[in-house]
Amino acid sequence: MNVGESFIATNKGGEVHSFTEVGAFGGGVVPILNQLSNSGPTRPECVAPTNNSFVAPGQSFTDTEGPNDVGHPVLYQCCIHPWMHETITVRP
């Protein structure tokens, strides 16, 4: 993506998901799923998400990447299903 571009993540599944920006991939808010997926401890961003990132079935989440996102990977994960994650690269 380029700075200023937006993306849309649409939940096409039958369960609630999240698309939460995290500093590193890790565990979500469901301890048994963290254990089964060997995700590690719950990410702090999942405990208190700040961007209304939970997405109901059929709903979408939109975010715009800014200049502070250039030069490092921008990581998003589902805080319910921590094995679901994505890395975004932002160009100037």
In sequence order, what DSSP letters do the residues of the chain get, joined into one string? -BTT-EEEEE--SSS-EE-EEESS--B-S-HHHHHHHT--SBPHHHHS-SS--EE-TT-EEEEE--GGGBTS-EEEE-SSSTT-EEEE-BB-
Q: Note if the pTM is more than 0.75.
A: yes
Q: How confident is the model at residue 20 (pLDDT cuts 50, 70, 90)?
A: very high
Q: How many CB atoms lie within 10 A of CB 22?
A: 19
The predicted pLDDT at position 53 comes to 82
Decide if pLDDT at 48 tops 90.
Answer: no
- Least confident span in 27-36, 44-53, 58-67, 75-84: 44-53
